[in-house]
Structure 1
Amino acid sequence: MRKASRLFEIIQILRLAKRSVTAASIAEKLEVTVRSVYRDIAALQAMRVPIEGERGIGYILRPGFDLPPLMFSIEEMEAIVLALALLERTGDGELKQAAKQVSRKIAGAVPQPLRQALDANALHVWGAGLPSPSGIDLALVRRAIRDEEKLEIGYRDEYGNSTERTIRPIALIYYSQTANIVAWCELRQAIRNFRSDRIEHCEAAGRWFKGEGEGLRELWVSGWVSKPEVA
């Protein structure tokens, strides 16, 4: 177990303890040596974490100390860093901007050992991301899914034929080549998949399908045994 993870776990053990905890007990739980626990507790005390006690007697965390609301182990932090980096591939400009804001909030909330892991910049995602689709704003689609609002779109199929559609969007799938909107198509009266790079224009219809979204998603999932149809 790496040091940052151990420091986090020691604080958690002391927070949950109802009485003093010996270094030997902590070492057994973390599967490390007692000497490592002594060093880690000294490091936490140097960072002004209010741990009281001494060797051979045990340690307690002084009442009133608490961790920030955003508190992660080192492995959880690495998962978050990598997931945020992967958002660069979606072609969704609003999500990419949100990922940067999340990174800043996390960096400001976590304690110093985990902040160092975040600042190390050791995890990267390589490869070109998706270009943003020109005919549609994916942020509009995500809001329409949440609000259960219909969308009016102009759609060009794989043969180049264009149609005007009213759709009820229920899901958004990010593939490596494009993003697909899963929706109930009022023209076809069925669930269809619309490639975002084939949408020529899109706007909110100002009409709603409140209360229908979950049922449409269940209908969509029930059809997974067969190949999904593309509009």
Structure 2
Amino acid sequence: MAELFPILDARLSAAAAFVQPHSAVADIGCDHGKLAAYLAVQKKCKVIAADIRSAPLERARETMARYHCPESVECRLGDGLSVLAAGEVTTVVIAGVSGITICEMIAACPFPLETGTRFIFVPPTKHAHLRGWLWSHGFALLDETPVVAAGRVYTVMCWEYTAQKKQMDAFACAVGKTGKRTPQAKAYLEHVALLARKYARGVKDPERQADILILASRVEQEAKKCEM
């Protein structure tokens, strides 16, 4: 029996869960197009699937044809948010690039962001940097879902652009809203603490090193709460 929609891994499933039905969605860096096809079929969304490379975009077109959703998904070749027009979508998904790259993509957006626009991110690295940058540039963190996929821990973030800027401390940037009572949340926070301790070993300034180790301990305590 043919599949009616693509089967997503834990990361993309969590991202899809943050997408509201009947939204206008941009899947930036769509790669194989599975998420775009899933949203078109399962959530009845109008999707723009975009990639900077032509080969992945061709695979995405093949995915759309396989799941019979070519009319509800438009494939576009281009760099980041430059493929969009102002107000064209209500939700933007960016997966598979680092938190720093996501910041650069948003900063390079060729039009002003509209308040209320939802952004869903699945960054493999630089999560704390991304959280801090987004808060300081007018985004509100709605929720996060820590997941484990292919033996690695990730967090899937859901943000909304509000134009209200905030400056958050290092602990908030390190953990965001990942402190949920799930095994995946515990694994994620333990991973964050481990990365902080590794980073501290390379810091020569004693005061700075002490601050990072204190942060790591706080994150470890947050991880223990996930067991309760």
TM > 0.5 between the two?
Answer: no
Q: TM-score, normalised to structure 2's length?
A: 0.25
TM-score between both structures, scaled by the size of structure 1: 0.25
